[in-house]
């Protein structure tokens, strides 16, 4: 579910409200992707300093150590002041002096992992291979071009892998490639610099607009304050196979790349 815009929307919806809170209790439900990495009781009494984002991970900084959260495919957070009843798929809940943070995740591909401050292990394992943040100045055309030059795989899959640039998932990869006029199957190394520049601009534009729209809500995504996204109504190609391209009216095509669906316009996107 959540790509960079959804994760960032989530962060913005509770970061300031939880900052400064003291953890009162932690409740675990069914197993997520990985074990928490410490006894839940160890977190009690710690203070939440703030919430950062790295790629699709949320990093909750504590006065001692940090929690790394991932929403997987179906996860969403809520942060409410009153004590919420536990729902069927609430697999992590953290009661604090300022509210309760709950991870609801039906498919349980998500994760909550504790890392000690000096623990270079789990943090670097999870975050170590991540590419550049697309909405920062570090993401420039030169660096992007250099990164793509080293990849022979299809550009769509290079984007999804997140080792060159992070945060671009299945929806926004298709959308950005459409906006840049690039066929998803083009080997990354073969993209000319002007095309890379167009893709660079398209990624920033799409992610920025999705952020402004509160992300995309396909099934049940909502921010930690319960707001649904509405970017799904603005997609040019995603989930529109067989429907007319909004630019040229040719039917949008669907193909599978690495067990994921890719959507593109055969007319507007050149090989």
Active site residues: 2-3, 56, 260
Q: Dig out the tokens for 193 from the structure.
A: 């610099």
* Cα(92)–Cα(191) distance, integer angstroms: 43
Closer residue to DNA (CB): 46 or 231:
231
Q: Dig out the tokens for 147 from the structure.
A: 């990164």
Q: Dig out the tokens for 265 from the structure.
A: 């316009």
The interface with DNA within residues 14-43 (CB under 7 A) comprises 30, 33
Give the nearest distance from C-beta 59 to DNA in angstroms: 13
The interface with DNA within residues 225-264 (CB under 7 A) comprises 258-261
Helix (H, G, I), strand (E, B) or coil at 178: helix
Number of residues that bind DNA (CB under 7 A): 45
Give the nearest distance from C-beta 210 to DNA in angstroms: 10
Which one of the spans 18-26, 41-49, 92-100, 166-174 is the region binding DNA (CB under 7 A)? Answer: 166-174
The interface with DNA within residues 93-132 (CB under 7 A) comprises 106-109, 125-126, 129
Task: Select from 119, 132, 214, 216 the least CA-distant residue to 174.
Answer: 216
Closer residue to DNA (CB): 95 or 188:
188
Residue 217 as a binder of DNA (CB under 7 A): the answer is yes
Angle between helices 4-18 and 193-212 (to 10 degrees): 40
Give the nearest distance from C-beta 130 to DNA in angstroms: 8
Strand partners, 126: none
The interface with DNA within residues 133-152 (CB under 7 A) comprises 150-152
Site string for DNA, 184-213 (x = CB under 7 A): ----x-------------------------
Helix (H, G, I), strand (E, B) or coil at 62: strand
The secondary structure of 224-265 as a DSSP string is TT-PPP-GGGG-SSTT-TTSBPTTT-PBPEEEEETTEEEEE-
Q: Contact with DNA (CB under 7 A): which of 19, 73, 141, 197?
A: 73
């Amino acid at each position: 579910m959540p790509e960079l815009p959804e994760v960032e929307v989530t962060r913005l919806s509770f970061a300031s409200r939880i900052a400064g809170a003291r953890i009162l209790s932690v409740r675990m439900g069914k197993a997520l992707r990985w074990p928490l990495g410490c006894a839940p009781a160890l977190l009690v009494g710690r203070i939440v300093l703030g919430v950062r984002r790295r790629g699709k991970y949320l990093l909750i900084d504590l006065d001692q150590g940090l929690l790394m959260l991932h929403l997987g495919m179906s996860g969403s957070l809520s942060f409410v002041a009153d004590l919420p009843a536990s729902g069927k798929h609430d697999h992590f809940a953290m009661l604090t002096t300022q509210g309760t943070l709950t991870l609801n995740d039906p498919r349980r591909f998500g994760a909550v992992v504790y890392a000690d401050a000096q623990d270079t292990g789990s943090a670097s394992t999870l975050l170590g291979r991540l590419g550049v943040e697309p909405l920062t100045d570090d993401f420039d055309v030169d660096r992007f071009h250099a990164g793509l030059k080293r990849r022979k795989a299809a550009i769509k899959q290079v984007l999804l892998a997140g080792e060159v640039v992070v945060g671009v998932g299945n929806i926004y990869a298709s959308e950005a490639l459409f906006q840049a006029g690039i066929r998803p199957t083009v080997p990354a190394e073969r993209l000319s610099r002007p095309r890379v520049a167009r893709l660079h601009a398209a990624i920033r534009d799409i992610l920025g607009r999705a952020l402004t729209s509160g992300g995309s809500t396909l099934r049940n995504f909502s921010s930690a304050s319960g707001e649904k996204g509405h970017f799904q109504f603005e997609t040019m190609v995603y989930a529109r196979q067989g429907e007319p391209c909004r630019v040229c009216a040719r039917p949008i095509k669907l193909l599978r790349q690495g067990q994921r669906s890719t959507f593109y316009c055969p007319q507007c996107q050149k090989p």
